[in-house]
Structure 1
């Protein structure tokens, strides 16, 4: 007669959820709260993974939370003349100089930014400021810069197949200004909101909403 082996999970402390949504009227306060909770601000790629993980769980409240809302990200876009830079690791300064919802930069601050560099004409040629077909999304330079090929394909499959969109995931640029500026990238809600990526987010105009990811989770995902 065989014996049945039973196992029991033992947790000495409550498990920490991998993802947690943080909201507030000012981005700097939300960023501080995320850091105090020993979490990392999710970039665009982290939000895409957040949504894919929610779908994989099959838990409808999590799917609704992940896909039905827009989220600020830790990615940034910076503009000067006809040049657009896109990178990761944005942190709101304590006393930001804002103009039309954008963070005003000096020429040196713009030059020192490390990120992918594009010309505005290049991005407009890649069909900026409009919904895209899936084939356009997969080769779009901005989506490639913030997500990479593998994650982008997985996410586009979910957005287009699950929600039946023929066009979605547009990339929207900010209007040119007469000085260097920086804005946070915003990932719009998925589903019927079509997961548009806004390079024209307005700091603190609508408040701030970011996802804090358990420290180490993003690195673990990359290593896998």
Structure 2
């Protein structure tokens, strides 16, 4: 019950807000301006002119209060919604700042990752015939790529492309460069960079991986 009386009090307060000041101003104007206009215009004003003007002012004030009583619930609700929205915005500010900082951090990691993948693909031109071990640079570079991948918070689909890129580079290192005109690692690099720069979505990345890349060739043992 207390909340009801509080709400009714707010409605009444809104309806009467500044009404007293308006009424006083209009009454002062009616009492001083009307006789003055009569004198300037040379018109003899009836003695009841001021009382009639004050009566109209009273009626106008009552009508205004009634209108404000009718519209008060809407404007009170609007004020409360605005207040709540402002408070929610203020409370969420630290969280938004964290997300913005995280988004910038991930964006920088994506840019670095795109460059590292391009560097990694060039390693496919190493010629490492069997039974020589793979150069340590390949492992070091891939470790750096995986760290950047974690920082960027990328999808499992990208991790699949990354693993196929590693397999492709290691396979192509075993082939003479003249026999490897269009390496699969090149297509995988372009595909992953398109994803990192936002040109394709995760779904498109998976679809193009399965459609555009000869995965069977990568699955075959060396």
Same fold (TM over 0.5): no
Provide the TM-score with structure 2 as the length reference. Answer: 0.23
Which protein has the bigger strand share?
A: 1
Provide the TM-score with structure 1 as the length reference. Answer: 0.23
Which protein has the bigger helix share?
A: 2
